[in-house]
Structure formats: structure tokens, C-alpha cells
Chain A
Amino acid sequence: MEKKCLSDLPRVAVEYIDSVIKAMKYRRNVRIEVRQELIDHFADALADCKTNDEKQKLAEELIAEFGDVKLLGTLLRRAKKRCRPLWRTMVARAFQLVGVLFVLLVLYIGWFFSGKPVITTNYLEVLNRQVRPVADDSQNAWPFYKQAVEKYVQYEANEEREKFDFRNPSTLSTEERGFVQKSISGNQQSLDLIRQGNQRPYYWPVYDVQEGQNPELIAISIPHLKEYRRLAELLCWQGLLSAEAGRLDKAFQEVLESYSFGKHLRGQHTMLIEQLVAIALEAMSTKTLRIVLSEYGEHIDAAILEAARKRFEAEIADEDFTADFDGEKLFIYDEIQRSFTQSRIGKSHLYIKRLEQNVPALAFGAQGKLVKHWFRILFTHPGKEETLKMSEEFYSAIKANAGKTPAEIKLLGTETKADKIEKEIFNDNIFLGLLMPAFNAVISRTYRNRIDSEATLTVLAILEYQKQKGVLPENLNVLVEDGLLKEIPIDPFSDKPLVYKKTDGGFTLYSVGLNFMDDGGTRSKDSHDRPALWGEGGDAVFWPVTDS
């Protein structure tokens, strides 16, 4: 029927109708309907025309009455839109909304990924200023230690390190003894440099990055830490071998050189990793001291013991065992300025490129844990200012924690402020969560370090007393009264004096250890069920010394 009508209509009418329908720009089925209606209208109007000329003329008049194609198309579209059912309107609106949101999202992502950090502070320079005391270069131990590292020769393979666990040298196999002796004699120059460095009143490293790298703290190379540890081990082994050879005065000297080396490495406001190495070196030295005392104590005369005690006492008297987070703080600040975009319109946000480059792959994982956090990173992650504020708060809370003994913190019963902030950080701030070290663990380690040194000094004092009097002291007060100890060490895990008990074979001296409970001197064990000084459960027994 429509075909017939169309063929009856003048070409000009058909073209007009088609143009109007095209201008409608609406759903196809609606346009078909409207087109039919218009065709009908024209067909009805022209029905009475007798000639084609008449039809043509009337059609042109009708077209003039219908008016402008575009306007009519628009009016028809608008009117038809109003006719659609509510659900269709809602679907259309929903699609429009999704479209708008998508466009906004694309714009936002464009804005997000075009942001770049602006570097305002050279924290490498700040760190170098911070670690340097008011002293001239000749007072710095660092150049000596640096040279010692440069001259260090490693003889054993990395996997053979276990052979060097400190113990009675008589238990060394011929091969192991060969290794130890070769390592010591081959590194005499380095060991001498360490001794020379120990004579300097200060230690401040000069931090730098490799040539061509940006001066950023994440790139500073501290490659010498492993060698520091090896050299300290050699000093300790030298001490053990001297003790075995009956040179006990020399033995104490060597081991205490190792301790001085560790103490020196703490420096002031250094990086946390260096402080942890310093702690490890000190713990290694005190352990060796106790082994020497345990294995060769019978042969040590009172004068040598007294000299060793006095030197060790002087060594730890001015030692600040507290963890220092100032170096680490600068590291976080530097990383914040490099990992957040500068505030522009809206807030600053994480700079993904930096995170991908410099946050270790293991943090995000090969499977892209970053993707898992995309929503948080894109929309809700705290910006630069909030992150700075959060880290400031955390550092001041952690500093307060560092002044409290583990027993005090435990006594508080509830979460400390630092714990709360730490939890908040791990919930809200991916950046800080990844970069903040486990501060509480570090703090606990510094207290272990302190009591380890004080307990070793106490052992020296007890043995000296025994040498002098021929009997063991009844209690630790006696040592203070006799001037062998300045004060009784307080166990930071109980906030009570270290536990000293006379036993059938001698005496026991221990801290209640990480479980805060007095287990009667039962040694704690490590995850392999071997006796360990600071293992799970049990006490941290400093004396008697185990075989392990």
C-alpha cells in the first residue's frame, strides 16, 4: 500500500518526507511510523488532483505549510521522545549517565596519568648533613672502614657461611680451620684499618648514588654492610683463636674491637639498616665474649678479666641503644616527594610510574597486586599532604614508643598510638604500608641488644668476683657493692633485674625473654627447635653458654 502511495506522490514530496524523517534522528521504528503518517497525509491531500502538474503544485504548497525540514524533524523527535514509556526513558537516562561517567572517567584517568612529581628537596644532601657531627674529617672512622671494605677478600662461598658460626675453635674441622685462618691472614690489612677506624671518635658515612643516577635516597648504595659483618666476624674468630692459643688478653681485645666497630657504625641519625647491622655486630661480639669466658674462663686470671670488664664497661657506658628513625624519616620524605604528583586541580595523588619502578616487584607481586588496588589508588588513596601528615604522626608516635621498654608497652595492655597509626596506615595508605619498616620489631631488637651487652658485662663481673673471692656472688647486689658493676641491669622484658641464680654447676643469668614470662631459665628455641637466645617461648639465657 505504501509503495502505491509513494508512486502516486510527486518526487518533491517523497524527498521532503525522507529529509524530515532523516532530520528526526530517532529510533528506526518510530521514524517508519511517522514517515507512514506523513505519506498518508500527502496522499490524502493530493488525492483529488487530476493532473501531475496539479499534484506537483499542491505538494509544493503542502511542503511550504509543513515548513523547514530541520525544525519539523526536531519537533517530531521531541514530541516522540515524550511519548516513550517511563522504563525506556529511564534506560535511556541510565545509558546517558553511564556515558557521561565514562567520559568523566576517561578525562580523570588522563588527568591522573599526566600528573608528575616535582622534586623540591635534595634529601641526599640533607641526610649527609644530618649524619655529620661537628667535627673535622680526620675524626671520621668512615674512610678507614671504607678502605677496609675495599681491601677485603672473601675466601668462602656465601653458602659456606654457616661454617663460621662462633663456637669453640676445637670443634672446627681441619678444612674449616683452614678457611678461618686463611680469611684472617688474607685480610690483616682490612682488620688493621678497622682497628684504626675504631680509634676515631666519630663515624659518619658519606652517602652517594652511583654515577648517572638521581640523588635519591632509595638509590644510595650501602654495599659495604655485608663486608662490615664479615670483617667483624673475622675479628671475633681471631679472638677465639687467640683464646685457644692461651692469649686471652689478646682474645678480649680482638672481640672488643669487633664490638667497638659495631658501636661506631650506629653513627648519628643513620639509616635503619646500618643500625641493624651495628646491632648484629654487637650481638656477635657479646656472644663471642661469652664463648671465650665459657670455654677458657678457668684459665683467665683476675687481672685480665678486670681489664676486659673495665674496657667493656667503658664501651657501653656512653652507648645509646635507642633506635634512631631520623635517617629513615628522610627516606620516606624523599620517596613521598617522588611518588606523589604535585598538587594541581584537586589533590595530589600517587605517581604510578614511580611505584612500579621503585617499589620492589615483590611488594606488588608479579600477578599485579597493584591492579587489585586500582580503585583505591585512583580515587581514595591519601594524597601527598595527607601521607606526609600521617608519616609525621607515625614517626612521633614511634619515637615515643622507642623510649618505652617492651615490658612497658605490654603493660599498657591496649594498642599504643603507634600501633593504631600503623594499622590505619596499612588500611588506608598503600604507599606507607609498603615502605614503612616494622618499627616495633626494630625497637624490640634495640632493647635485646642493650640487655645482651649489659648481661655480658654482668657475666664478666660475676666471673671476676669468683676469681677474686673463690665463690660466686650470692646475688647481683654484691657486685654493685664491690664496685664490679655500676648498677644491676634491668631486664626490659620484665622491667625487673636480670635473673641471677646460683646452680650446682655454677650460675645462670637470664632475661625473661620475648614471652615476658619467667620460665625458670629454660632456654627459648628457634623455629627449628634449636636453643636460641631470642626464640619463641622460654627465657633468653646468657649464661651458661650453649653449644649452639
Chain B
Amino acid sequence: MKFERELLKGVAPVVVLEILSRGKMYGYELSEALEQRSRGILTLGRGTLYPLLYNLEAKGLIAAEWEESKSARKRRYYSITSSGKAELAAKKEQWMALQQGVNLVFGLGSLSPA
């Protein structure tokens, strides 16, 4: 499924942070993981992936390091930082609220009792 570029733009960093919160990965691995976890619904354009990773790195939300992979090749591994985790938690919360709101508008669910 193809998503509107703007729609994906806001989600992509959160999704990348979420995937990296489960373990460090290199670029290709990350794109594959995203596709698998979203069952092919979410795919990051490859042209978007690396600029996105570098931007998250610049913001200090993820860190990158060259390490040897299982195939004995050096890879640039990305891992989430503590500020990345905090950011992820905050974004997740926002996302849940947004999802709930959108669902209500679409008539797909109701507010759960407190």
C-alpha cells in the first residue's frame, strides 16, 4: 500500500525508533525489519532511509558505530539512545491518542472507560 508522503513523514522516525528500541541494526536490516514487522504495509523509500537515519543521529536520538557483522563484514550499526527512548515514549503516547481520535472519527471504536 502506498501512503501519502506527508503522512509517512511524521510516522517514519517513530517507526525507526521503535524498531531500533528492540536492538541495534544496520541500514538494510532495518528496512527489511520494517517491512516484515508491518507485514509489507510500511515501506520506507530507500532514498528516505539513510537521510532519516542521519537526521535522527544528528538529533542524538540514535547513535551509529561501525562494527563487524555476523558475515564478518563491517557494518554501520544504529542503536537507540536514551533520549531516543524518551522521544519514542512521548511520540508513542501522542500516536495512541491520535489513533484513538481518528478511530472515533471514523466510527471504528470508542473511548475505553477510565
Contact = CB atoms under 8 A, between A and B. Distances in A.
Given A1-B73, A37-B27, A37-B76, A79 B45 contact: no
B47 A40 contact: no
A75 B28 contact: no
A34 B51 CA distance: 10
Contacts of B48: 75
A82 B58 contact: yes
Interface residues of B, number: 22
Contact of A34 (B46, B50, B57): B50
A141 B82 CA distance: 102
Given A1-B74, A40-B75, A65 B50 contact: no
Given A1-B73, A37-B76, A79 B46 contact: no
Interface stretch (A66-74, A126-134, A241-249, A418-426): A66-74
A5 B59 CA distance: 31
Contact of A67 (B28, B45, B53, B58): B45
Contacts of B58: 79, 82-83
B45 A45 contact: no
B26 interface: yes
B55 interface: yes
A67 B76 contact: no
Nearest to B29: A44
Best-buried of B50, B58, B73, B74 by chain A (most CB within 10 Å): B50
A157 B48 CA distance: 96
A72 B51 CA distance: 8
Interface string A450-481: 00000000000000000000000000000000
Interface string A61-95: 01001111001100110111011000000000000
B28 A66 contact: no
A41 interface: yes
Contacts of B59: 82
Given A1-B73, A33-B76, A41 B54 contact: no
A72 B47 contact: yes
B114 to A, nearest CB: 41
Contact of B28 (A40, A71, A79): A40
Contacts of B27: 37, 40-41
Nearest to B56: A79
B88 to A, nearest CB: 19
A38 interface: yes
Interface residues of A, number: 25
Nearest to A71: B47
B47 A82 contact: no
Main DSSP-derived SS at the B contact region: helix
A76 B46 contact: no
Interface string B24-68: 001111010000000000000111101111110111000000000
B51 A76 contact: yes
B73 A79 contact: no
Given A44-B28, A45-B28, A82 B55 contact: yes
Contacts of A37: 26-27, 50, 76
B8 to A, nearest CB: 14
Nearest to B50: A76
Contacts of B31: 41
B28 A41 contact: yes
Contacts of B73: 1, 5, 40
B57 A83 contact: yes
B47 A65 contact: yes
Given A40-B26, A45-B28, A66-B46, A75 B76 contact: no
Contacts of B51: 72, 75-76, 78-79
B56 to A, nearest CB: 9
A65 B46 contact: yes
A131 B57 CA distance: 84
Contact of A79 (B29, B50, B74): B50
A36 B45 CA distance: 19
A5 B71 CA distance: 12
Contact of B46 (A62, A71, A78, A83): A62
Contacts of A5: 73
A38 B45 contact: no
A76 B54 contact: yes
Contacts of A38: 50
Contacts of A62: 46
A68 B46 CA distance: 11
Ordered nearest first, which 10 A-B pairs have the shortest CB separation?
A: A79-B54, A82-B58, A67-B47, A75-B51, A44-B28, A83-B58, A79-B51, A65-B46, A66-B46, A66-B47
Interface of B: 26-29, 31, 45-48, 50-55, 57-59, 73-76
Given A36-B74, A72-B47, A78-B51, 7 more contacts: A38-B50, A40-B28, A67-B47, A75-B48, A79-B50, A79-B55, A82-B59
20 contacts: A1-B73, A1-B74, A33-B76, A37-B27, A40-B26, A40-B75, A40-B76, A41-B28, A62-B46, A67-B45, A67-B46, A76-B51, A78-B51, A79-B50, A79-B53, A79-B55, A80-B54, A82-B54, A82-B58, A83-B58
